[in-house]
Structure 1
Amino acid sequence: MEMHQKISQYLERIEQEHQIKILLACETGSRAWGFPSSDSDFDIRIIYIHPKDWYLSLTEKKDSLDFMFENNEIDITGWDIRKSLRLLQKSNPPLLERIQSPIIYKADKDFVKEIQQLATTQYSRIATIHHYLSMAKKFLDELESTESYKLKKFFYALRSAMACKWIVEKEQMPPIEFRKMLAGLPLEKQLVNRIEELIALKAVQSESYLHEGEAPLFALMHSCVERAEAQRKSLPASNGSFNELDAFFLTMVHRYDD
């Protein structure tokens, strides 16, 4: 609770110093995914909005913020709403994840509900799978280049591979919470049980802990990657349009300029 209070205070300070309104401040990374280590940092992502006049300019202004607090234990970064909606149109996976985060520090509930609805129409399976497939391949290569590895990287690879499987098999966005992803996929019970054991192990170990083995789970990841490679080009694109994003952007600017 003490850390949550500190985070709230930092968010208020950011709003005042930068003359913005935070529409969403949430946890991402391992805490939001559901497999933190004992010493995991706080990775907080925000979506914010400026007063209307800020957008009335011929020049493109800085549309992101980046802060570190508490000896780098609290990482707060964020995107302006216009940048966020442009990324939503591209089905940017980090944005899709943050609007689903289960750990919320500050939020306009109406905004969150509306952007979640927009995300369903803008969602592109073919765009989204490229991100997770690239991540899965990158971390698998790193893991298999050494005998022992950090569980953090192992879970990055595993979650990315499971997201690929989800995108290939389902029409809706992959959930940010890893356990929800596992529950929604047809997986062998013994593999799921082993994943749960590793989540419990990671929770009591530091980020520096080194692990070995897990051949069945590596085989699972490779099968997901191979299937994604074979089917990614045939996946559908988005049915959304810029018109609805423009309308939502104007609504939000007027709402917060009153």
Structure 2
Amino acid sequence: MIKEWLSRLEDEYQIDILFACEAGSRAWNIESATSDHDVRFIYRHRDMKNYLALRKAPDVLDWTSPYDATGFDIYKTLDLILKSNPGIYESAFSPAVYMAAEPFTSELKGFIRNEYSPFSLYKHYQSLRTRNLKEVQKKVFNASRQKQLIHAVRAELISSGILLFKEISSPFEMIRAAEIHQPELFEGYQLLASTKRNNQLLSEEQADSIIHLLAASYEYNELGEELSKKQPSLDLMEQWLREILGIL
């Protein structure tokens, strides 16, 4: 149904969707029976005049019905890639893909692996981890705090994976790799995911145990300064943009 809906959007808005995926809980396999769909996609306008007009065509398209969906124009997408944007990173490697034009999809993943800044991504996930952990620690544990704890643990597993491998790969692979190098925290994440899928709540004892493990992992933070601080190549991105738009 979602793929058919996206195809209708292409005709209605005269765009080509180059990549579309599920984000949010369904991408992370923590959705419950009542979870909404959270669709993300990348598009280009079919009429190149849209890129030459003084009044630019929309570079972001949003819907709340029938699905929660957001689409980024290719210019917007490449601008975000230049900033090592974590949202584009997570979407590119989503296991739930609805549309994937080639060679665009393979090139997208390749650019992220080769051009993203490991340091920038690491700092993002460490900040996400720290912010959510503080919220969980200072308030009564409930469904909202459980969601924040999931975000905090996931961010820690991804950031520690970046630190361990010193390169960019799928965030979903980073989490799976944590079963080896952070087994206790990985087990805690699996427990959180299972509890969330079943619309349940961890006991305070279970939550405290995971919070303790997460707080103890903070010692890794200083090592992040050794990660590569390179930024994506503007020349490569501009060349790729011309290829995508077919104006070489």
8 Å CA contact retained: 2:82, 2:231? no
Equivalences for residues 86-105 of structure 1 within 5 A: 86-105=79-98
Among residues 4, 17, 35, which one is paired with 1:22 in the alignment? 17
Cα gap change, 1:37 to 1:145, in 2 (>3 Å)? farther
CA 1:250 to 1:100, structure 2 compared with 1: closer, same or farther past 3 Å?
same
Shift of the alpha carbon at 1:226? Answer: 4.0
- Say which structure, 1 or 2, has more relative contact order (CA 8 Å, 6+ apart): 1
Q: TM-score, structure 1 length as denominator?
A: 0.84
In the alignment, does 2:63 pair up with 1:63? no
TM-score (ref. length: structure 2): 0.87
5+ residue gaps, structure 2, are: none
Is 1:52 aligned to 2:26, yes or no?
no
Deviation (angstroms), 1:196: 2.5
1:39 to 34, 41, 48: 34
RMSD, matched Cα: 2.3
Please list the CA deviations of residues 42-67 of structure 1 after superposition, one character each: whole Å capped at 9, or x if unmatched: 11100000132211134554311110
- From 235, 242, 249, the equivalent of 2:234 is 242
Q: Mind listing any 5+ residue stretches in structure 1 that lack a counterpart?
A: none
Question: Does the CA contact (< 8 Å) of 1:24 and 1:48 recur in 2?
Answer: yes
Residue identity over aligned pairs, in percent, reads: 29
Q: 1:161 to 1:191 in 2, by over 3 A?
A: closer
Does the CA-based 8 Å contact 1:165-1:224 persist in structure 2? no
1:166 aligns with 2:161: yes
Aligned to 1:252: 244
Q: What is the count of residue pairs matched by the alignment?
A: 243
**1:204-225, Cα deviation, whole Å (9 max, x unpaired):** 116xx57533333212322334
1:91 Cα shift?
Answer: 1.1
1:117-196 aligned within 5 A: 117-150=110-143, 151-177=146-172, 180-185=173-178, 186-187=180-181, 189-196=183-190
Retained in 2: the 8 A contact 1:139–1:157? yes
